[in-house]
Amino acid sequence: MPIGLAAANKQAPVLMHMEYRVSLPDHDWMIAARHKLIPSVYAACVIQNGEIGRPEAVTYSGPSYIAIRSGKHSSSTASTHAFDFEKLITLTQFRNVIKDNCGRVKPVIFVSSDGGPDENPRYPKVVAHAIHHFQKHDLDAIFIFTNAPGRSAFNR
């Protein structure tokens, strides 16, 4: 998700459709990291009620949230993602997805990431933050998974 500088009075919304084969590296590491904005995109997959077991029941039309950080002042780390998770559970747009009818975080959390070092479950900091969420919110299970190496460009 490239983010450019806004050109006042020069931009208009445009809807485009392109069909092409994705051929991106695992991560597009920034050339000038200290001068870029770093987006972290979170989206909820919603399973339609009464449709569990059917692949078509899983939709990608749930709420989304984008946290944007300055590469000059901060970075994307396991800690920033943990902070973002705590923010998500307070947002009204995510309430039906993350919380049950009593206002508690649902007992099972699934996190799909692109496998970067700031969110890959192979790294101790990511595991430590997952354990913290598990204990703090009295979860029954938390699953963090990634695509196979070299396949993050295809992460839905």
Domain ranges, residue 73: 33-154
pLDDT band at residue 103, thresholds of 50, 70 and 90?
very high
Q: Is the residue at 14 inside a domain?
A: no
Return d(Cα 94, Cα 91) in angstroms, integer. 6
Q: Among the residues of the chain, which ranges form H helices?
A: 78-88, 95-98, 124-136
Tell me which of 47 and 4 has the higher pLDDT: 47
pLDDT on residue 11: 47
Is the per-residue pLDDT at 29 higher than 80? no
In the chain, how many domains are there?
A: 1
Average pLDDT over residues 71-100: 88
What pLDDT was estimated at residue 88?
Answer: 92
- Classified as helix, coil or strand, 105 is strand
Long-range (24+ apart) CB contacts under 8 A made by 10-16 are none
Place 30 in a pLDDT band, splitting at 50, 70 and 90. low
Task: Kindly state the helix (H) or strand (E) to which residue 69 belongs, with its residue range.
Answer: strand 64-70
Q: How far apart, in whole angstroms, are the C-alpha atoms of residue 100 and residue 132?
A: 20
Q: Which amino acid is at 22?
A: V
- Is 9 or 94 the better-scoring residue by pLDDT? 94
With cut-offs at 50, 70 and 90, classify the pLDDT of residue 35: low
Question: Do the domain assignments include residue 96?
Answer: yes
